Amino acid sequence: MLAVDDPNLAETFLTRYDHQVSAAVTLVFTIGLVIVVNRLLGRIVARPGVRDVLDLHDPRVDTRLRIVRRLVVATIAVIGVAVALSQFTALDRLAASLLASGAIVAAVVGFAAQRSLGNVVAGILLAVAQPVRIGDLVTVEGETGTIEDMGLTYTVLRTGADARLMIPNERLASSIVRNDTIFSRSIVAEVSVWLPASADVDRALELVALEAGEGMTAQVVEMTPEGWVRLTVSGTACPAEERFAREAELRAGCLRRLRSGGLLADEGQESPHGGRSYTR
């Protein structure tokens, strides 16, 4: 029989697994705190009075608040995980051995995480400098769309086809970006029309100008060595979110007028972009 005073019987579950239990409790508390803080900040910002005071209708304020909110949540999560890991004495010994070769570890970790850290730093810089803001209509590396959301690592671009492009913040910060709405929320819709060398350019300008409307312009902006002529047609000003629909209407109207005027490309004649399409 086992003795009553056997130390193995006196040892409880908590004393045996105190570090693991402390780490698990810390992680659960951290997860709960992250959820509560995230929802609390969301509800505070959603209140009508707070929205008016903070002027969340201003894209600059909205962009900064979203980045700050995610930074707070990420900071709480990192601190919680670090506290949980500190409960294990084995990790303390591992940390001590790693510190002995700290230069090598720092170089390896820095090299492996440079992209992620670079995206986070770029996201903060974008929130401060704000070359783009949530709701802006921008063109990045040939892709045009509306900034739908900005996170710590990625920015979401919604295209005219309602697709989402995930752009790393570091790449966005280092690219040349055309922002059509940084100073004004309205934009003038503009499309291009390509005409073959045999077309009557003056007649084409007259027809597409009628489609553009009063006060708008249609002008020759380019001519290729093969004789193709590019016109730009500017429509009326419209809200940024209506740009793609307005440009589609403008293209269709230009096609109708040029077709009625007999100015379409000859059968078999290719445009500068290949194929027979001559509006874009």
Are 44 and 50 contacting, i.e. CB atoms less than 8 angstroms apart?
A: yes
Question: In this predicted model, which residue has the larger pLDDT, 177 or 189?
Answer: 177
E strand or H helix at 214, and its extent? none
- pLDDT tens-digit series, residues 38-60: 888 777 766 666 555 555 566 77
Asked whether residue 104 carries a pLDDT value surpassing 60, the answer given is: no
Asked whether residue 229 carries a pLDDT value surpassing 60, the answer given is: yes
Q: 126-129: list long-range contacts, CB under 8 Å, 24+ apart.
A: 126/63, 126/67, 126/150, 126/155, 126/169, 126/172, 126/173, 127/63, 127/64, 127/66, 127/67, 127/68, 128/64
Query: What is 137-179's CATH number?
Result: 2.30.30.60
Highest mean pLDDT of the ranges 12-16, 192-196, 211-215 = 192-196
pTM higher than 0.85, yes or no?
no
Other Cβ atoms less than 10 A from the Cβ of 245: the count is 12
Question: For domain 186-260, which CATH number applies: 3.40.640.10, 3.40.50.261, 3.40.50.300, 3.30.70.100?
Answer: 3.30.70.100
The domain spans of the chain are: 7-100, 137-179, 186-260
The pLDDT mean for the chain works out to 75
Q: Which of 123-132, 137-146, 230-239, 264-273 has the lowest mean pLDDT?
A: 264-273
For range 236-251, the mean pLDDT: 80
Asked whether residue 17 carries a pLDDT value surpassing 70, the answer given is: no
Same fold across 137-179 and 186-260: no
